[in-house]
Amino acid sequence: MYAQGIPMEERDFFDEVTETKIHTMICPHCNQPGEYELNWLVRRKRAQIPRGADDMDRARFAKARSYMVRRDDLVGCKNIRCRKRFEVVGIQSVADLQPVATGTPENRAERIRAAFGRRTLG
C-alpha cells in the first residue's frame, strides 16, 4: 500500500520488461548492412492506476504513455573482416510504444532508406 501524500514513482505506472529487437544497421567502417539485436527497456503503461493514487498521481497517470528506452549504444560489426564497434545511429534512443501513425510499410521502408542511404550509398 501507498501512504497518503507520498507521490507515486513513475515505475508504479508501468510494467517494465527488457525486450530484444532486431534492427538493420549499416557499419560505418565497412558499409555492410547487418541485423543487430538491441536491448530495449520497455515500459508499458498499466491498464489501471495503482491503489492509493491521489489526484496528482491520477493526473500524471493520465498523461503517462508507454515507451521504450534503448539500452545499447554500441554494436560490434558482424562482418568478420571488419568486426569494428560502431555507435547505433538512425535509431532513436527513446521510442513511443503507442500505435503511432507511421504511414504505410512502404513509407517506413523509404524513411529507413533515407536515414541510412546518404552516408552509405553515396
Binding-site ranges for Zn ion (CB under 5 A): 27, 29-30, 77, 79, 82
Decide: 47 and 62 in contact? Cβ < 8 Å: no
The nearer residue to Zn ion, 71 or 83, going by C-beta atoms, is: 83
Residues 6+ apart with CB under 8 A from 36: 22, 23, 24, 25, 75, 78
Nearer to Zn ion among residue 60 and residue 78 (C-beta): 78
Q: CA-based Rg of the chain, rounded to a whole angstrom? A: 19
Q: How far is the CB of 16 from Zn ion (least distance, A)?
A: 33
Q: Cβ 53 to Zn ion, closest distance in Å?
A: 49
CB 70 within 8 A of CB 95: yes
**Of residues 64 and 88, the one with the C-beta less far from Zn ion:** 88
**Which of 10, 77, 68 is CA-nearest to residue 39?**
68
Q: Which is nearer to Zn ion, 30 or 69 (CB)?
A: 30
CB of 28 to Zn ion, least distance (A): 8
In the complex, least distance from residue 4 CB atom to Zn ion, rounded to whole angstroms: 57
